[in-house]
Amino acid sequence: MTVERDSAAPRTRDVPTGPAIVVDALTKRFGQRTAFADVTFEVEYGEVFGFLGPNGAGKTTTVRTLGTLLAPSAGTATVAGLPLTEANGVAIRRRIAVMPEQPGLYLRLSVAENLDFFAGLYELDDRRSRIERALRAVNLLDRADDPCRSLSKGLRQRVGLARALLSDPQILFLDEPTSGLDPLAARDVHELIDGLRRRGVTIFLTTHRLAEAEALCDRVGIMNTTLRTIGRPDELRERLFSKTLQLRTAAPLAEPERVLAGLPGVEGWHPSADEACGYVLTVSDPDLAAPAVARAVIGAGADLLALSPSRHSLEDVYLRLIDEDVEAQAR
């Protein structure tokens, strides 16, 4: 399933200039409890920004704050070009759409009635065609007259997405859009988000599904009450993990230090913890080091079985940061 282009999918407005979201030292406290603190980041128009973190990290509270449901305790923010102030609440909500974790549909009403109600709340003209476009965008046009209670959880999520698209928002906040969905339904939602991304819709996506963030997001921020890091997934991998090559030979090298040390681009090495005939080489440039390592190993008379750069996933980045937090709290 994909988001259909042009006539089918809701149109986005002309892309405004400047960042879509600017957050500066934003903090939200509930009494003594800090939901999130000192969070600073920017999201550009047309970007899909992933907001990752464990349960209770402050992701949903951040969305609610940026969505004007909650007032920040400290710090400033600009959302869709407007300062996040009480006076701007209505104006900001006109420019954004928020899809909460639970779609929150009126189950006794039909899909179309649900959307019509929200179209009324946004004071939209040509409601019928907008509803039709939104439903076509999520492939639900044929279910328009079905009561929402008759829909599966995945389909309800799609109705929630259609509702969020109705007003052609400048920024779309999606809070855990695949939470509780089975893999097939989750894949449907991923495809919808990917379609929106290709159309240039600015999306702020909170999730704790790391593969989802890696596949969909241009940049991610990892949150655990404070913003632990932010960047493109590959940047984060590079920032947190040194570049390494994984070497595997048929038999252990007789003198690995003599073979591996001092090769161009190789900064160090150690035996692999997983394999008896494996070695992990820390390198400055894998493209420079790999041919030299291959030549050296073969030159030493060993049988080279595999030589590949190590792949760290976003999950590795996430787990390392969260583990650091857990260790810091334990100390």
Partner 1 sequence: MTTEKTLSWTRVRALVRKEVNDFRRNRFIATTMAVLPLLFMIEPVISVFKLPADAPASKLDALVGVSTLELMLIPALIPAVVASYAVVGEREQGTLEPVLTTPIRPAEFLLGKALAAFLPTLVLAYVMYGIFLAAVGVFAHPNIAHDIFEPSRVFAQLLFTPLLAGWSIWAAVAISTRTSDVRVAQQLGSLASLPPVAVVALIGFDVIKPSVTLALGLGAGLLLVDLVAWRLVAAMFHRERLVTGARA
Binding site for partner 1 (CB under 8 A): 28-31, 61, 64, 67-71, 73, 85-87, 89-91, 93-94, 96-100, 102-109, 113, 116-123, 160, 163
β partners of residue 249: 304
| Least Å from the CB of residue 297 to partner 1 | 60
Q: Rank residues 31 and 183 by Cβ distance to partner 1 and give the closer one.
A: 31
Strand blocks (E) in the chain:
19-30, 33-44, 48-52, 74-79, 82-83, 96-99, 171-175, 202-207, 219-224, 226-231, 244-249, 266-271, 278-283, 304-309
Judged by DSSP in three states, 316 sits in helix
- Nearer of residues 12 and 61 to partner 1, judged by Cβ: 61
The three-class DSSP label of residue 49 is strand
Shortest distance, CB of residue 65 to partner 1, whole angstroms?
9
Q: How many CB atoms lie within 10 A of CB 180?
A: 12
- In the complex, minimum distance from the CB of residue 180 to partner 1, in angstroms, rounded to a whole number: 13
The answer to whether the beta carbons of residues 57 and 206 sit under 8 Å apart is no
Nearer residue to partner 1 within complex by CB, 87 or 330: 87
* Closest to partner 1 by CB, 169 or 265: 169
CB of 107 to partner 1, least distance (A): 7
What is the closest distance, in whole angstroms, from the C-beta atom of residue 70 to partner 1 in the complex? 5
Closest CB 97 distance from partner 1, rounded Å: 7
Residue placing its CB nearer to partner 1 in the complex, 86 or 327: 86
Q: Residue with structure tokens 């996040």?
A: 84
Nearer to partner 1, 64 or 199 (CB): 64
Cβ proximity to partner 1, 43 vs 77, nearer residue: 77
DSSP states of 17-43: SSEEEEEEEEEEEETTEEEEEEEEEEE
Q: How far is the CB of 100 from partner 1 (least distance, A)?
A: 5
Place of tokens 């976003």: 314
Cα–Cα distance measured from residue 134 to residue 258, given in angstroms and rounded to the nearest whole number = 65
How far does Cα 287 stand from its chain's mean position? 29
